[in-house]
């Protein structure tokens, strides 16, 4: 999930992100109860509370360069969740990158293909080094 504390960090790299709790509640393989439990709100009875806790709601306030990491076979945190936040940040002028791992699922960082786990770590390190050491700009999508 994206960091809801605006601009506290120099750089961010969320993995398996959730941008809207309402949509996550209905598409995730974890089941309807998870979003309801985590947000302490039923999607039908209090959708506004889910929106208030959704990172997408605050995308216009984010200035932190963000690398999104998603897997295209992740049925827990579906790839559109990442694309929504990525697109919102780019529309608001924030440096952002979307890194998609094809053929991987929610377990990429733990049990993904070794080459993909290695690439994942390299992507994160490169992104962090770029902003923490070099302070440069980078806008692209993979």
* Mean pLDDT of all residues in 98-110: 97
Report yes or no on 12 lying in a domain: no
- The enclosing domain of 33 has a CATH number of 3.40.50.1820
Looking at the domain assignment, is residue 61 inside a domain? yes
Establish if 44 belongs to a structural domain.
Answer: yes
Residue 115 placed within a domain? yes
Q: What's the confidence (pLDDT) of residue 139?
A: 47
The number of folded domains in the chain is: 1
Q: What is the CA radius of gyration of the chain?
A: 15
C-alpha of 141 from chain center: 14
Question: How far apart are alpha carbons 86 and 67 in whole angstroms?
Answer: 8
Looking at the domain assignment, is residue 13 inside a domain? no
Question: Which pairing describes strands 140-141 and 66-71: parallel, antiparallel, or unpaired?
Answer: unpaired
Residue 8 reports pLDDT greater than 90: no
**Which pLDDT value is given to residue 50?**
92
What pLDDT score was predicted for residue 39?
Answer: 86
Measured CA to CA, the distance from residue 15 to residue 34 in angstroms comes to 18
For residue 73, the enclosing domain spans 21-135
> What's phi and psi for 12, nearest 5 deg?
-140, 150
pLDDT (average), residues 100-106: 98
Within-domain flag for 111: yes
CA gap 68, 18 in Å, rounded: 11
Asked if residue 74 belongs to a domain, the reply is yes
The average pLDDT across 47-64 equals 95
The model's pLDDT over 57-87, given as tens digits with 9 standing for 90+, comes to 999 999 999 999 999 999 999 999 999 999 9
Give Cα separations from 3 to 99, 114, 118 (angstroms): 18, 28, 24
What average pLDDT does the structure give for the chain? 90
In-domain check, residue 142: no
pLDDT at 125 over 90: yes
């Amino acid at each position: 999930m994206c960091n809801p504390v605006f601009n506290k960090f120099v750089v961010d790299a969320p993995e398996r992100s959730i941008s809207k709790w309402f949509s996550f509640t209905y598409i995730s393989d974890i089941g309807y109860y998870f979003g309801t439990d985590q947000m302490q709100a039923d999607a039908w009875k209090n959708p506004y509370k889910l929106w208030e806790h959704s990172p997408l709601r605050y995308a216009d306030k984010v200035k932190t360069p963000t690398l999104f990491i998603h897997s295209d076979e992740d049925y827990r945190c579906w790839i559109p969740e990442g694309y929504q936040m990525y697109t919102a940040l780019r529309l608001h002028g924030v440096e952002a990158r979307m890194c998609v791992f094809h053929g991987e699922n929610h377990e990429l960082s733990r049990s993904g293909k070794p080459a993909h786990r290695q690439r994942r770590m390299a992507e994160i390190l490169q992104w962090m080094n770029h902003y923490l050491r070099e302070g440069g700009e980078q806008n692209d999508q993979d």
